[in-house]
Structure 1
């Protein structure tokens, strides 16, 4: 007999399983949230540490050494001198009879400049000629006597001693003739100095005498300079070149001259000689240049400015003066290696332009140089590179007119 038995379903077990599952999911969510929070805090802490470490590093600005595109210009003072200058002194005393050329006059070689009246020399020459005539007469008489005594020696009328005495007297008289002749020639040459002439083609640059002036025999160390004649068709230029630049200024090097009387007009000159020695007092080498002066525009004795265009030095670079640091180790600059660590290098200055300097040795164009390095930097210190702020362009107000 069939009976109706109710079916019992396990509802409570399923509800308990779902509850446990929900609790597990909630727990996992909490764990995930906590893990994410921890991770975020860790990242934030790491970022904060990184930012703090970064802020602790010194910030530096880099500059690049610039190789010179052209050689430097060396400008030095110089003086102009005549190619040839002759001071005319008197070689005979007397009074100035006349002068024929004044300052600024162009003269030719051998042209008469002045005449000197020399009465004493004229009288001395007359006396010397008279002495020469007397010496010749005495020599002629002595020669005749010597010949006669030589003839009598053959007949034993005279002794050999007497003949020798006559021959000796003849030799002495002939020597007196030669001495008198030399004295006449000397006075004749001295009388020729009555005429003062130009030694070469040039210009009379000095005249310090006048008609009637007493003239004494003079020289470069004593006496009065009567005239000066200069060859100004070309001039010599003398320049003292500093020792550091002397090897670059060689014979044949071109230069440009400028003088105050012709502003903005250069004159070409060429190095023709060098002293090849250094003056211990000035530390420079004397260099001589030649400049053509066909029109006579340049004046001897004038001041000039000499400009040498030096060749480009392969190892010379230019840096701002603010990149230099001077301490007990000498002149140095701070550079960065490939890991942005500081590396100091000792340098030498070739030329100082004030705001910039030319470095002769120590750095190259490939180095990264720190501009205005902070105090306290040492080798191998890490730094951070910051870009320089853009310079603001300020228009300056210009005055009207």
Structure 2
């Protein structure tokens, strides 16, 4: 606690200049990159019917597993009145797909397979995949210094790899804005404003780069900017071109200002809606709106040989921080549990306002588990408890661990 107090005092002492509002709006940033020649890896064709073998799609235990999955849905989702959707699949075979609750709790609009919900930090998976696609295309490299692309970035030792692994030491931009208390919260921040926050004030790093894991949304807000500067396209355009369109993710988008009136809201546990605030247009760290079925398309593609080079996917699934064995490991935009028996559980959680989400990728079993909720409840994360139905995953007691 003493170290944290000293750190906060040090931060405050650095902020002797006023953080100016909105150097560039999201519209201006997008307009500026549209005026340059796009530079993005081309399309690829994935035959979803040929990704998995018959063995991948079926297990003789599936009848028992389906029974247990339905029992879980009844005893957890129904009894706890969770709102959202869950999908569990082996290969191409969907074993459970259920929806509960409302996309609009005021007019009682039911959630359907086409209902796009905010998946919060699960968005980091797509940001990471976009970065790795650019690495594959030799547009950037993982060891490249951030300030070779974002020239105003004041930390010369931080690399793209440090951002992807949360080992940069950068403090959380959402906390810094509150700390300096000079941002007009009637205005929405952009990713350029996040960069300006660091370039103008150069706050102290929490740790020396690549020495310690410290989860910070700042890392992925900056990665989205790196993607924009590298491709000369807006981040939403890149994700749409690289991922949503070629994978057929028809109900997925990145939240932008034009979407604020149509986007489904998230809710407090009592059903009151969360209002959008000044942080809600920063993307890369969050702001993917999607469905369980669309995320399933992404999970399937991650098994396809022509989606991303295998050595890059292997790096994505490699733990670079082992802060708490079996619990707190992080790869490239992916959380990991690596057990003594050699099993590796690959996943990411998300939380923002009233949204909770979890994406689980069991590589050995070709199993996907996806749960998205739009009315705040930690029970959404209980979907990770389904992993032992498919393999020897000796999960510890995770109730005391925070998900973000």
Structure 2 length-normalised TM: 0.18
Structure with max Cα Rg? 1
Structure 1 length-normalised TM: 0.18
Structure ranking higher in strand proportion: 1
Structure ranking higher in helix proportion: 2
